[in-house]
Structure formats: structure tokens, C-alpha cells
Amino acid sequence: MYVILAWRNIWRNPRRTFVILMAVIIGVWSMIFLGALMRGMEREMLKNAISTLTGSIQIHHRDYLDDPVVNNSLDNIGRLDTALDKILGQDSLWAKRVRVNAVVSNARHSGGVTLVGIEPEKEKAVSFIGKAVTQGRYLVKEDKNKILVGRAFLKKFNTKIGNKLIFMSQGTDNEIASKAFRIVGVFRAESEAVEKRFAFVPLPQAAGMLKMGNSISEISILLPELDISGKKEALVAKKLVAALDDITIDDKTITVETWQDLLPMMKAYLEMSGFFLYIWYFVVFVAMGFGIVNTTLMAIFERMREFGLMKALGMRPVQIIIGVITESFFLLVLGISLGTGFGFLSVAAIARNGIDLSALAAGAEMWGIPRKLYPEIWAQDVVVAGLVVLVLGIFVSLYPAVKAARFTPTQAMTKN
């Protein structure tokens, strides 16, 4: 009975109902929308960090990360390949790399740089470099002595496409290896630091220069899905470790790291981010809450006569309270549904093109946030938002409900 009464009561005064609904809708909408923006931002940040060569998972020689010299290389390439094939399945992509610190010089400048030997076709799918070349062209497998450098690097060395760069590093024979490369393409990255730091050449050329034979420095794997909590990646990494244990000759010469291991700051940031979002939800609700209490109170007072009458007819105070709360419940549920609906709609409207952040390009550069932001709704956020509003909404409705229950018939009749 309460249910029917409550429902009918709501619609008796559409204007009143509408006003309260609006407050809830706006509140919930803002929670969903903000949540989507935040999650979208998180994902883009992570994607960006990963595509700057980190990948979902990486495999190295045990000592490579501490000491990235050519002697700490992966040797059993053939068996690694088969193991990866078996475990990773169709949708994962991986690429091999040779990566060393080198000194690069031309006639007037010299400096330190990280030389990365890549498999051009495979690398395209695994990291940013495939799409980052803005001048000249990308590398192809057959390239002999071609190199890609960053735009900031080009400026620093005062050189241009077609010019030479001489690289020097230490080979596996402990002799100085040097080689000339010609700039064939220039890439842009999210930060100037990345542009200055990496130079890309075809893997065989780098391996040849360093006398590495068939050894490589690292394998970078991109899983089809990016899990912000890092759990999926950790699972796959575990499987890989088990499989690789079988094929290593010495005990544990290979390590497998997920992006969480490689980017601990990012991991910490993402964990905190979710936490703060929910605190914010609470704050938004409180802001909303005042309005809800106020408008509900006003509604109650408007209906003073009605409540007084009900009491006169024998309704107990508790029943009035339940009635009012039920009305609030409906309003909240309705508002939450509509608010969530609008949330979805507004996110969908933006999701197609993303939000363009180029105005803040300078600031965005540091943290690797790309120029476009794609909002993303998490089921978990929707549920939390809805629950917060519903539970707290009912809680704050208690005050007006109690007030309503206290109206005496005399007060009601002498109103006005």
C-alpha cells in the first residue's frame, strides 16, 4: 500500500517532483561524467606510458635492468619465440629489441642517447614509434643504415633529414663499435625528453654493430587489453615465468616484468586516483544533499494540511515516516536512473571524438597525457555513485520525514 500511495503522491504535484528530481539527476550525472573523465584520463596516461616502449610486459636478462650493457642479453631466442607463441595466443603482439646506451656525434655536436634496434613491422604494433614519424619516413626491414630521431634531437644537434650521425658504443667483444647512420625520418613524442633520448634503427644493424649475433636486449609484449589494475598483466607474466623456466639454461637468467614493475610511480598514482574519486563522490553528494533536504522540506510544509489530515484519520507517525521515505526512495531511484542515463548519453556524445586538450599542450607534455581525452565509464563507478546517492539520500530524507510525522491535525487545519 505504501508503494502505491507513495508513487501517486509523487505525481500529484509534478512541479515539486520535477524540481527534486532535477537535483538528483544533476548530482548523479555529474558523478558519472566526472568519473568517466577521470578514468579516461587515467587510461590515456597509462596507454601513453606503455607505448613509450614499456609495453604491457617485458622480458630481459636478469641483470639488464640494473646494468643495460650488451653483455646482459637474451640468448635463447628461438626457444623464447616458441614459448611466447604458445602462451600469448593470437591477439598479443610482441617485438624484439636491441637497446644500448651510446654516444652519438656529428661534426659539431656529441651527446649520449639510447640506441634502439627494432623490428620495424612488429614494433609498429607494439609501441608509439610506428605512428610517430612526422617527417621523412618510418623504417623498413631492408633498411641498412637508416635511423629515426626525435624532433627535439634534430634541433639540439642542428641537423636534418639525410644527414649522418655516428654512433659509438661498446660491443660484446669489449671493443668500441662505431657506425654511421643516416636520418631518414623524424618522430614526435609526447615529451621532448623522449624525443631527445631515443634513436631507432633496424635491429640487425644494431646487433651487427655491437657484435651481438642473435642475441637481443629485450622483448616487449603488448597484451590486447590494458588492465588499469595490472592484475591481468600479472597473471600472464606468471605464466610466462613458469614456461620460461623450462628453457633457460642457467638458473633464472630471464626476468619478466609487467608495467607495474617497470613504472611504480604510475602504479601508485592510479591506485590513489580511484580512492580520491570516491571521496569526491561523497563531497558532491553533500553539496547535493542540502538541496534535497531543503526542497523536500518545502514540499513537506506545503503538504502540511495533507499530513495533518492523515493523522486525524488515524495514521500513526511511523507510517507517515515510512510513506515519506518511500516517496523519497522513488524519487531517488528515478533520479539516479535518469541521471545515469544522461551520464551515459553525454559520455557517449563525447566519446566518439574525445576532448581536445591541445590548449594545455605544454603542461600535458610532462606527464605524457595525450592531446585527446576519451571518457570511459566504469561499472564500478556507476554502482558506487548510485549507492551513495540512494543510501545517503534516504538518510537525509529522514529529517523531513520526521518533521512531517510531527504535524498535528490542529496545525494543519490552522495553516494559512
The nearest distance, CB 26 to another protein, in angstroms, is 5
- Written as one letter, the residue type at 347 is V
* Residue located via cell numbers 613504472: 263
Distance of CA 399 to the CA centre of its chain: 41
Q: Which 44-83 residues touch another protein, going by CB under 8 A? A: 66-67
CA angle centred on 306, ends 305 and 310, rounded to 5°: 115
Decide if residue 178 touches another protein (CB under 8 A): yes
* 166 scored as a contact of another protein (CB under 8 A): yes
DSSP 8-class letter at 359: G
**Minimal distance, residue 296 CB to another protein, in Å:** 10
What does the per-residue mask of binding to another protein show for 359-378, with x meaning CB under 8 A?
Answer: -x-xxxxxx-x---------
Q: Which is nearer to another protein, 319 or 342 (CB)?
A: 342
Taking residue 279's Cβ as centre, other Cβ atoms within 10 Å add up to 9
291 belongs to the binding site for another protein (CB under 8 A): yes
297 binds another protein (CB under 8 A): yes
The verdict on 108 binding another protein (CB under 8 A) reads yes
Identify the DSSP state of 358. G
Q: Distance between CA 284 and CA 236 in Å, rounded?
A: 39
Regarding 179 and contact with another protein (CB under 8 A), the answer is yes
21 HSE (CA, 13 A, CB side): 19
d(CA 326, CA 319): 10
Asked whether position 356 contacts another protein by CB under 8 A, the answer is no
From the list 200, 209, 184, the residue with the least C-alpha distance to 119 is 200
**Which CB atom, from 94 or from 198, has the smaller least distance to another protein?**
198
Region of 17-25, 52-60, 251-259, 310-318 interacting with another protein (CB under 8 A): 17-25
- The per-type count for the chain, helices as H runs and strands as E runs, is 16, 12
User: Which of residues 180 and 312 has its CB atom nearest to another protein in the complex?
Assistant: 180
Q: Check binding of 392 to another protein (CB under 8 A).
A: no
Nearer of residues 239 and 278 to another protein, judged by Cβ: 278
Among 105, 135, 253, 255, binds another protein (CB under 8 A): 105
Report the residue from 211, 232, 278, 280 that binds another protein according to the rule CB under 8 A. 280
Return the residues of window 184-223 that contact another protein according to CB under 8 A: 191, 193
Q: Which of 286, 349, 383, 387 binds another protein (CB under 8 A)?
A: 286
In DSSP terms, 89 is beta-bridged to: none
- Region of residue 173 (phi > 0: left; psi between -120 and 50: alpha; otherwise: beta): alpha
Torsion (CA) 66, 71, 74, 75 in degrees, nearest 10 = -160
| By the rule CB under 8 A, 402 interacts with another protein | no
- Between the alpha carbon of residue 14 and those of residues 9, 11, 314, the distances in Å are 9, 5, 27
Q: Does 267 bind another protein (CB under 8 A)?
A: no
Residue 36 CB partners (closer than 8 Å, separation 6+): 343, 347, 375, 376, 377, 378, 381
Q: How far is the CB of 222 from another protein (least distance, A)?
A: 24
Helix (H) or strand (E) holding 200: strand 198-202
Closer residue to another protein (CB): 298 or 315:
298
Binders of another protein in range 18-37 (CB under 8 A):
19-20, 22-23, 26-27, 30, 33-34, 37
Should residue 319 be labelled a site residue for another protein when binding is judged by CB under 8 A?
no
Q: Which of 77, 241, 293, 394 binds another protein (CB under 8 A)?
A: 293
